[in-house]
Structure 1
Amino acid sequence: MRLLSKTGRRARAALLLAVLGGFVLGPGALPAHSAAAASGGTEKTGGGQWKFSREISVPETAPYYELYLDEAVYRSAAEDLRDLRIQDSTGAPVPYYRESGAETVEEHSAVYSTALIHKAVKETDTLLDYQIKPLAEHVDIQGNRLVFELPAESFLKHVEVWGGYDGQAWELLGTGDLYATSGLSEDSITLERSYKFSYYRLVVKNNPEGLEFPGLTLVDSSREWSTAAFMRQKTPQTEITQVKNRTEMVISNTDRLRIGKVMLGSTGNFLRRYELYDGDGVKIPVTGSGELYWLDFKDTRISRTEIQPVMPVTADSLRVVIYNLDDAPISITDLKIEYLVDRLVFAGGEKTPYALLYGNALASAPQYDIINFKDRISGEQLVTAALGQEAPVPVTAAEPTGTSWWLQGRWGFNAIIIAVSLLLILIVARKLGRTR
C-alpha cells in the first residue's frame, strides 16, 4: 500500500509538472494561426508595414467623398497603387474604389454628318450655315469639335463659330484660325464644351476671294472633357543640351506621374521635326504629325508647341529630340507637363477624421463591395476631400529573430510537448524502478 501511495504521488507530481510546463510555454507556443485567431481578424494585406499616413479632411458630412491623389502619393506608393488604404478615426478600413484619368484618355467619339444649307456674303466676310444630321430619331445632337473641309489652295483665315437650335437665332461659341500653308494645316475648331445645337454657322473673316468650305463634320469627343478633372500641370526638372544638329531635352519624372502632354514655350519662327523617347531609349508614339512650329504673320500666329503621347507615359524620364538641321536651335523659354491623377471614391460616416495609408510594397490590392455600386454612386453629388501633410507611420516591433521563431510554430510546439512527456515518463520509470 505504501508503494502504491508513493507511485500515485509521483504520477500526480508528473502530471502537475506537465501542466505547469504548458503554462510556462505560454501562448507563444500555440500554432501561429491559433494566435492570430485569438487576436481578431484583420484586413488581408499580404504582409509588410505602411510607411506613410495622410489625414483626409472633409468640408462637410456627405454620403460619399472623392479624393484626388497628388505627387507625394505616386512617389512613395506601389506603382500600381495596390497599397492604398483608407481608415477612419478608429483605425477600421473604409472601402473605396479608384478611378484613373488614364483609363478615360482613349478617344470615344460620336461623328455627325452635315449639309451646307445656306451661304451669304456680308461685306468682306463669308457666312456658311450647316445643318447637323442626328444619329437617330429622338436622340439629342451633341458635339464639341467642328472639322471643316478645307480649300485646295494655301490660305489662312480668322473664323467665328456660331450655334443655333433653329437656324434663325445664333449664339457666338468661339473664334479661331483655319489654314493650310507651308505644309501645315488646321481644319478644326474645338469648343469650350459640348453643345446640343442642330445648326452651326461659320463666319470666314476678310474673305474677298470667296474661299469655299463645303463640308463640316461635328464630333463629340470624350477625350478632353472626361479627363479634365483628373488633369494637373507642373514644371518638371529638365536638362536641355545641344548635340550636333539636335536639341535634346531630358525631362525628369521620378514621381512616376502619368504624363499626357509636354508643353513648350518658345519664340521666333520655326518648323522642326521631333521624336519622343523614354529613359531606356524606346521611341514613344505621339499624336499629330511629329512637328513643332511657331509662325508669326502680320495679324496672326500659327503654332503647335505641344507634344502629346498617344497614351500617358509613366517612365522615370522622357527625352525629346528636336532636329534642327542647319538652323540655329529654337529658343525654349518654358516647359511644363500635363499629367493625370487618380481619384478615390469612398463612403462617408461619423468616424472622422479619415487617413490615407500607403508605402507598403508587400501589400495586396484590396477588394471591396463598393465597386459594384460604382454606376449608382457616380450619379450622387460627391464632396471633395483633401489630403493633409505626409507623416511617417511608426514602425512596429519586429517578430523575435534567431532560434526562438520555431517555438511559435506547430512543429516546435509538438516537439516540446513530446520531449517534456518523454522526460517525465523517464523520471517516473526510474523512480518506480528504484522503489521496487
Structure 2
Amino acid sequence: MKQQTSLLYLLIFSIFSSWSYGQMHDYDYKRELSGISETWHKIVLSDEVFGKASKDLLDLRIYGVKDDGKIIEVPYLLLTTRDQNISKKVTFETLNVSENENGYYFTFKIPTSKPVNHIDLDFAQENFDWRVTLEGSQDQQEWFKIVEDQRILSIRNTQTDFQFTELDFASAKYQYFRLLAKSEQQPDLKNASITQNEDVKGKKRNYQLKRYRVKENIRTQQTEIDVELKMPVRVSEIKLKVSDDFDYYRSMAIKYLTDSVKTEKGWHYNYRIFTRDNLNSLEENTFTFPDVTAQRLKIIIDNQDNQPLNIEEIQVQGPFKEMIARFTEEATYFLTYGNQDASSPYYDIQRFDNKIPEDLSILELGNEQTISKQKSKTASPLFENQSWLWIVMALIIGVLGWFSFRMMKKG
C-alpha cells in the first residue's frame, strides 16, 4: 500500500515538474548570458530589449538550462538609475524683521556651523512679483552677498496656481543670513526652510530624435509637438529649450503613444499622459516622471491668448535598467522576455537586498534569439494538452480517495 501511494505522489511531482520545465516557451525571445564567474552579477538591459518586452517589464526572466535538460529560474532585482536628492534640514531662528528705503529685511540665525545651499520661502500673499537679495555674516557687522536681485513669484487665480520662491546657491557657512525683499507692501513670511541639498546624479541615456514636428492649433490656442524616437526606449525625462527672451508661463502636458487603431477615416492614435506641468521662464524646463517604454511622444502647450513659443531644442533621456541576479548552479543561462501576460515575479532576495555585494561584474548579453514554440520530443511535457492533465489529476485523486477509504474500512 505504501509503495503504491509513493508511486502516485511521484507521478504527481513528475507531471508538475515537466509542466514547469516548459516555462521558457512562454516567452518569445532570449539572449544568452556570458561571463558568469561568481554568485552575484549585474546585467545592464540594452535598448533593443524594451521594444519587445512588456510595457511594465514584468516579463523579464533569467533561466538556466542544465546538462540534463532541467530548467532552473534565477532570482533577480530590477534597479533603475535615477537622480537622487538628499536634503538635510538645518535648524534656525528668525531674529527680526525690519524695513528701510531699500525694502524689507528678514534676519535668520543658524546656531550650528553646518553649510547650507537652499532656502524655501512661504509667504501669506498669494500674488506677488518681487526681487530678493540674500547676504551672509558672522557678526552682523560685515555682510557678504550670496544671491543678488533674484526674482520670486506667486500667481494664483482660477486658471493658474504657481509659485517660485526657492533660492539655490553655492554652499555657504555663516551664522547669520539676511534676506532683503524689494516690495511696496510688507511681505508676510509665514515659514522658511533652510537646507543643505545634495544632488546625486544617476546614469542616464540620451536618446536621439528621429524627427519632431511643431504644429500651431489656432482653434484650441495650443502648440502641438510630435516627437518620434528611433526605437522604443525607457523614457523618464524631457527637457525643452525655448529661444524667446521674454517672460512666459504656460501649462502643458506630455503624452506617449500607447497603441493605434486603423479606422475607415485612417489611423487613430491613443495617447496616455506622462505628466502635466508648467513651462516657464523662471527655471530650467526639465520634466521628470516614472520611466515607461515609449517611441512616439506628444507635447501640448496651452498658449491661451499669448503668442506661441519658439521651441529651439528637445532632449529626451531615460535611466539605465539593471538586473542584479544570483547564480548558484552551473548551467547555460538566458535572459528571456516577450510575454505580455506575464505577472510580476517574487523572489526571496527582495527581502535581503542589504546582503548583495556592491561591486558586481557585468554580464554580456548575447544576440537576440527567437524561442521556438515547437518543443522537442526529449524536452516535451508529459501531457501536451492540459485537458488530459486535469483528467489524470481527477483519476489520481479518485484512486487516492479509494485507497484512503479501504484503509479506514480495514481500521
Task: Output the TM-score relative to the length of structure 2.
Answer: 0.58
**Inter-partner Cα distance in structure 1 for 2:227 and 2:285:** 16
Contact 1:257 1:340 in 2 (8 A): no
Structure 1 residue ranges without an equivalent (≥5): 1-30, 135-140, 295-301, 414-436
Aligned to 1:95: 75
Contact 1:110 1:220 in 2 (8 A): yes
> Are residues 345 and 191 of structure 1, via their aligned partners in 2, closer, same or farther at CA, if it must alter by over 3 Å?
farther
Q: Which amino acid aligns with 1:241?
A: K
**Inter-partner Cα distance in structure 2 for 1:159 and 1:149:** 16
- Residue-by-residue CA offset, 1:258-281 (whole Å, 9 max, x unaligned): 544321112122514233145436
Say which structure is richer in helix: 1
- Residue-by-residue CA offset, 1:306-357 (whole Å, 9 max, x unaligned): 3445x55656644322233455432212112233454322236796996533
> Are residues 57 and 255 of structure 1, via their aligned partners in 2, closer, same or farther at CA, if it must alter by over 3 Å?
farther
**Inter-partner Cα distance in structure 2 for 1:243 and 1:154:** 31
**Inter-partner Cα distance in structure 1 for 2:363 and 2:106:** 49
Cα distance, 1:50 vs. partner? 4.0
Match of 2:202 among 210, 223, 229: 229
**Inter-partner Cα distance in structure 1 for 2:164 and 2:187:** 15
Cα distance, 1:44 vs. partner? 7.6
- Residue-by-residue CA offset, 1:213-235 (whole Å, 9 max, x unaligned): 976303578xx957x43644424
> Are residues 335 and 163 of structure 1, via their aligned partners in 2, closer, same or farther at CA, if it must alter by over 3 Å?
farther
Give the 5 Å matches for 1:12-411.
45=23, 47-53=25-31, 55=33, 64-87=40-63, 93-100=73-80, 114-116=92-94, 130-131=108-109, 145-149=118-122, 154-157=129-132, 177-180=150-153, 186-190=164-168, 201=177, 216-218=192-194, 228-229=201-202, 231-236=204-209, 237-244=211-218, 245-252=221-228, 259-268=235-244, 269-276=246-253, 277=255, 279=257, 280=270, 285-286=275-276, 290-294=277-281, 302-308=282-288, 317-347=296-326, 355-361=334-340, 363=342, 365-377=344-356, 380-383=357-360, 385=362, 387-388=364-365, 390-393=367-370, 395=372, 397-398=374-375
**Inter-partner Cα distance in structure 2 for 1:94 and 1:163:** 59
**Inter-partner Cα distance in structure 2 for 1:357 and 1:410:** 26
Name the SS for the 1:229 alignment partner.
Answer: coil
Name the SS for the 1:72 alignment partner.
Answer: helix
Aligned length, in residue pairs: 344
CA RMSD of aligned residues (A): 5.8
**Inter-partner Cα distance in structure 1 for 2:337 and 2:24:** 14
Cα distance, 1:70 vs. partner? 3.8
**Inter-partner Cα distance in structure 1 for 2:243 and 2:230:** 29
Contact 1:177 1:186 in 2 (8 A): no
Name the SS for the 1:45 alignment partner.
Answer: helix
Matched residues, percent identical? 16
**Inter-partner Cα distance in structure 2 for 1:56 and 1:132:** 56
Q: Which amino acid aligns with 2:316?
A: I
Say which structure is richer in strand: 2
Contact 1:267 1:331 in 2 (8 A): yes
**Inter-partner Cα distance in structure 1 for 2:33 and 2:344:** 21
Give the greater-gyration-radius structure (CA).
1
Name the SS for the 1:238 alignment partner.
Answer: strand
**Inter-partner Cα distance in structure 1 for 2:111 and 2:30:** 55
> Are residues 147 and 34 of structure 1, via their aligned partners in 2, closer, same or farther at CA, if it must alter by over 3 Å?
closer
Cα distance, 1:53 vs. partner? 0.8
Q: Which amino acid aligns with 2:217?
A: V
**Inter-partner Cα distance in structure 2 for 1:84 and 1:344:** 9
> Are residues 186 and 362 of structure 1, via their aligned partners in 2, closer, same or farther at CA, if it must alter by over 3 Å?
closer
Q: Which amino acid aligns with 1:74?
A: F
**Inter-partner Cα distance in structure 2 for 1:68 and 1:278:** 24
**Inter-partner Cα distance in structure 2 for 1:47 and 1:89:** 13
> Are residues 246 and 191 of structure 1, via their aligned partners in 2, closer, same or farther at CA, if it must alter by over 3 Å?
same
Name the SS for the 2:194 alignment partner.
Answer: strand
**Inter-partner Cα distance in structure 1 for 2:80 and 2:340:** 20
Name the SS for the 1:79 alignment partner.
Answer: coil
**Inter-partner Cα distance in structure 1 for 2:147 and 2:97:** 20
> Are residues 264 and 176 of structure 1, via their aligned partners in 2, closer, same or farther at CA, if it must alter by over 3 Å?
farther
Structure 2 residue ranges without an equivalent (≥5): 1-10, 157-161, 258-269, 378-382, 393-411
> Are residues 363 and 313 of structure 1, via their aligned partners in 2, closer, same or farther at CA, if it must alter by over 3 Å?
closer
Name the SS for the 2:51 alignment partner.
Answer: helix
**Inter-partner Cα distance in structure 2 for 1:142 and 1:74:** 43
Cα distance, 1:239 vs. partner? 3.0
